[in-house]
Structure 1
Amino acid sequence: MTLYNNPQSRGLTLFPLIQELGIEDQIQQVEMAYPDMHQPNYEQINPMGKVPCLVDRGIVISEMAAIYIYLADKFRDKGLAPDLDDPKRGAYLKWILFCHGPLTEYIDISNLQIPAERIEQQRRSLSFGNEASVHRFLKQGILQASPYLLGEQCTAADLYVAYCLIFAINAKILPDYAEFTPFLQTLAKRDSLKDIAWFQPYRT
Structure 2
Amino acid sequence: MSTTILERVKALSCTDLSDAMDRLGIPCQCAGIMPIDRSFRLAGRAWTLRYGPVGQDPGTVGDYIDDLDADTVIVLDNNGRVDATVWGDLLTSTATSRKIAGTVIDGVCRDIDRIVELSYPIFSRGNWMRTGKDRVRVEATQVPVSIGGIRVEPGDWIKGDGDGVVVIPAARVEEVLAAAEEIHAAEDAIREAVEGGKSLRQARIDWGYHKLQTRR
**Structure label with greater radius of gyration:** 2
Fold shared, TM-score > 0.5 on shorter chain: no
Q: Return the TM-score normalized by structure 2.
A: 0.28
Q: Return the TM-score normalized by structure 1.
A: 0.29
Higher helix share: 1
Higher strand share: 2
Between the two structures, name the one with larger relative contact order (CA 8 Å, sep ≥ 6): 2
